[in-house]
Every structure is written in structure tokens, then in C-alpha cells.
Structure 1
Amino acid sequence: MELKSSDVNLWKEALSLYDSRIESMSKPNLASLDQFYCNELPSLIHQRNPNPHITTSELSKLMQWKLTRGKWRPRLLDYVSSLDEETVKSASQKAFKSLPEVSKAVSELTVLKGVGPATASAVLAAYAPDVAPFMSDEAMVAALGNSKEYTLKQYLVFVDKLQAKAKELSADGDVFTPSDVERALWSSAIGAKITASSNTDAKSSKKKRKR
């Protein structure tokens, strides 16, 4: 599915298939990590009023989710797992207070070792899905045509596009956040990979039968 698609039903379908696509990846712990990231973490962060923040162990689990759903880079997990608790608390508090100024919020988080714009976007999306979507490879390709540039500048372009799409899809009474748009794009991309893979398997089995 392309970002320019304006068929709300297609977006709803892709979003509704998100959980089953997570399951279909058959990656150890991904389903439970996704449950934590999408459902538990946002509540934990918001419960910490008046100064919402994320802890080191939560950031470490978020990183596990990000790397399991995307590309595995073990050094990043080592970096964030060894971060000082107060440093993580302070950086995330400042970041959340900076919103909706996404640029400043990302900059507050990227002072942490191992946290680049993509990981920062995941932290912000857990706290404010209506403002900041996660910078996944699949959604970056759909929105910008590539996923090679993990810079703040690229992320801000990505945010603008997904915020605009969320607003467009919500025009007729449906409610879409930028994070919903990201998940729908991710789900659609994974679905296309599954279809392509099954088509390849079907072709190779046909060839075998012909022999």
C-alpha cells in the first residue's frame, strides 16, 4: 500500500491485520514485546504524572522490540541497557515536555548512547502516538521511497507526511493517528512480502512437479 492511497477501508484492513502480521513473522518474543510496546508501555509512562518518563529497563525492552520487529543490531541493545537510570529519566522527561515540537524532543533523547532518531521516534510514539510515529524501515519506504537515511531531518519530513495522512483519513469521523498510519504501512509491507514469498514457493513446487 502506498502512502497516497486514500481508500480508508484499505487502511483499516491493513491496521486490523497488524497483530496477525506480527505473529506471522515467527520471531521469538516479538508478539509479547509488541504487546508491551503498544499496550503496556504507554500506560506506564502516562502514570508517572506530573513528570512522565521512561526507565532504563523499559528503554531496553523497547529496543528489543524495535530490533526484533526490524533489523537486529545487538550493540545498540548493549548501549541502552547500560545507561544510567537518572540520565534516561531526565532525557525522556525533557523530550516529552518538548512535544509537540518533535525536533527538540528527538534531540533531547539522542544524547543517550545508542539512541538515534529511529529509537527516539519509538520512545515518542509510545508517549504521543497522535504526534510522533515510529520511524520503521517499511513506513519510511512507503512514505519517502527509501529507508537509508536515519537523520532528524529525514524524520521530520516523515512526521509531516504521516501527520497529514492521519488527518486526511480522520476527516470523515474515523480516528487515525500518525502511529496508526505507520502500523498500517508496516502491516501492508509485511503482507506483500508474505504474498511474494508464498507465490515463489508455489512456483518452485510447480517446477518440481513438472520434473
Structure 2
Amino acid sequence: MASSATPSPDTISDSELHHYLERYPACIAAISDARGAKPGQISLAALDQYRYGAALNTFGSGTPDAAMGLADVKQLVEWKLRHGKFRPTLMKLVSSNEPDFVEDIIRQAVKHHHDKSDVPGALNILTKLKGIGPATASLLLAVHDPDHVIFFADEAFYWLCCDGSKAPIKYSQKEYTELNARAQALARRLAVKAVDIERVAFVLMTQPRDDKANPAGVTKLPTGPRAATTGKKPPAKRKSPVENPSAEVPVRRSKRGKQA
């Protein structure tokens, strides 16, 4: 179940949503610093700037300045792998697509979505690419239409469809249809963009507590009255036999000899 401090998508207010949205940059920066990057590897923070900055500026205007190519797809997939669950074979599969085929498929999908407002149909076109399932396909489409299409992120699905519970996800078209419908309902209610809901969900599900001193939730602070004054967790309370019926009362043995 969702934390009691985590607002429901059905009741979250406009001010609450924007409060969490404003926390996203600090949240992702702290996570990026904590994870670090291998030599020659782009940091998560830099990939995030591409995902929500350069990529949206280039492809998200409704009339893209350029066609999305294989290099763009690979950078977005790298962001997806570093931002969420790492899948070691995914990049190899994506890289095996022919560049011309990638551009053609994405152009077809974006046109289909633009002409018919048919998200499932556009995703079906994008999944013709090797290594591109519904989740990654939704990312490519969301970059082209950030106002109305949400990326199929785990955090978004947990918050919008599972009441904040980290339930198993099959990454199916049916699940994404439910996720996008719920995101659109919230977007209409508060007049916000799908891309903003996506980032709010990430903050809520990675660091639900409203802790300004620890915006990314990288480390957990001790809890309890004693921890608040000493900085240490209080010792665990031993349960009596009455509190723990399954505990056995120890048998007092004579010092004159042990029972066999």
C-alpha cells in the first residue's frame, strides 16, 4: 500500500503536485551522485537533461525539427536503463536495428498518432523495432507528445494504477492503456502535462517522505524519539511470551546435571 504521506492521484491537489514536481531535479541529482558513473559513461543527471531537455525541444513540438534516428533512440534507451531497471540485453537488441528502418518506423508511428490520436496503434508500429516493447515504445512516443502521452515507467504505474504498491508489472499493452488513461484523467483534472505526472510519480515512489533535507531519499534517517535525540536507533524491544505466543518459556535446569 502507499505510504500515508504519499498523496493519492485521485485527490492530489495542484499545489501538492507542483511541490513534488519542483523536487524532481534535486531528487535525480542526488540519485545520480549516489550511483556515480563508470569511466567514459554519461551520468544519469546528464542523460536526464537530454530526456527532459534536448529531446523534448527537438522532437516534442508536434512538428519535429528532425527525424528521430538510431542514435537518439539509443540515448533514450540508455536513460531508461539507468533511470529504472537495468536490462543487459536490451541495448544490444536496439543497436541491431538498421538506422533507416528506425527512422521510417518512428516516422510512421508519430504520423499515425498525430493523425488519429491512436496511442495503442502507434505503439504497435514502434514495437516492430527489435528490442522495443510497449514500455520503450511509450518512451519514444512520449518524447514526441509530452503533453498527452506518459512513459510506461514503473513508478508511474505503481502510483497511478497500484495505489503506490510495488506490484508485479507485465509491461503489456493492456497495462499501458490503463496507465495512460489514468494519467490523462489526472492531467485533465489539474490541467498538467503527462510528462509532469511522470516526474511527480518518480519522486513519490523513490522518496515519498516530504524530507527537504534528504530530497532523494538516498539514505534513510533513524526514526523514533530516542533516535531523534541521539542520532541512533533505539534498541529493539524484546517481546514477552504474552506478546509473542509462539515463544517458548525457557526451562530452568538443575545445576547438578543436564538432562539427556
Normalised TM-score (structure 2):
0.71
Report the alpha carbon displacement of residue 199 of structure 1 after superposing the two structures with TM.
2.8
Letter in 2 for 1:177: K
* Correspondence 1:113 to 2:130: yes
Aligned equivalents of 2:111 and 2:181: distance in 1? 20
Higher gyration radius (CA): 2
Instruction: Output one character per residue of 1:167-191: Cα deviation in whole Å (capped at 9) or x when no partner.
Output: 1011xxxxx1112111111112122
Q: Could you say what the CA RMSD is over the residues aligned between the two structures, in angstroms?
A: 2.7
Q: Decide whether aligned partners of structure 1 residues 71 and 97 sit closer, same or farther in structure 2, where only a CA change above 3 A counts.
A: same
Instruction: Output one character per residue of 1:10-69: Cα deviation in whole Å (capped at 9) or x when no partner.
Output: 100111111111111133311100111111112333689679531101100000000101
Among 54, 68, 71, the alignment partner of 2:68 is: 54
Corresponding residue number in structure 2 for 1:151: 172
Corresponding residue number in structure 2 for 1:190: 206
* Correspondence 1:133 to 2:150: yes
Q: Decide whether aligned partners of structure 1 residues 50 and 76 sit closer, same or farther in structure 2, where only a CA change above 3 A counts.
A: closer
* Correspondence 1:124 to 2:141: yes
Alignment of 1:31-70 (within 5 A): 31-45=45-59, 53-70=67-84
Report the alpha carbon displacement of residue 196 of structure 1 after superposing the two structures with TM.
8.8
Corresponding residue number in structure 2 for 1:165: 186
Among 90, 104, 107, the alignment partner of 1:76 is: 90
Among 195, 198, 204, the alignment partner of 1:179 is: 195
Aligned equivalents of 1:20 and 1:50: distance in 2? 29
Q: Secondary structure at the match of 2:207?
A: helix
Report the alpha carbon displacement of residue 201 of structure 1 after superposing the two structures with TM.
8.4
* Correspondence 1:199 to 2:221: yes
Aligned equivalents of 2:198 and 2:125: distance in 1? 23
Alignment of 1:97-112 (within 5 A): 97-99=111-113, 100-112=117-129
CA contact under 8 A between 1:51 and 1:93: conserved in structure 2? no
Instruction: Output one character per residue of 1:69-97: Cα deviation in whole Å (capped at 9) or x when no partner.
Output: 10111210111122111111011001111
Q: Decide whether aligned partners of structure 1 residues 196 and 44 sit closer, same or farther in structure 2, where only a CA change above 3 A counts.
A: closer
Corresponding residue number in structure 2 for 1:20: 26
Letter in 2 for 1:181: I
* Correspondence 1:11 to 2:17: yes
CA contact under 8 A between 1:140 and 1:147: conserved in structure 2? no
Q: Secondary structure at the match of 1:199?
A: coil
Q: Which runs of 5+ in 1 are unaligned?
A: 171-175
Which stretch shows the higher mean deviation, 87-96 or 201-210? 201-210
Q: Decide whether aligned partners of structure 1 residues 141 and 46 sit closer, same or farther in structure 2, where only a CA change above 3 A counts.
A: closer
Letter in 2 for 1:206: K
Provide the identity percentage. Answer: 28
CA contact under 8 A between 1:133 and 1:179: conserved in structure 2? yes
Normalised TM-score (structure 1):
0.87
Q: Which runs of 5+ in 2 are unaligned?
A: 1-5, 38-42, 210-215, 237-260
Letter in 2 for 1:10: E
Q: Decide whether aligned partners of structure 1 residues 140 and 47 sit closer, same or farther in structure 2, where only a CA change above 3 A counts.
A: closer
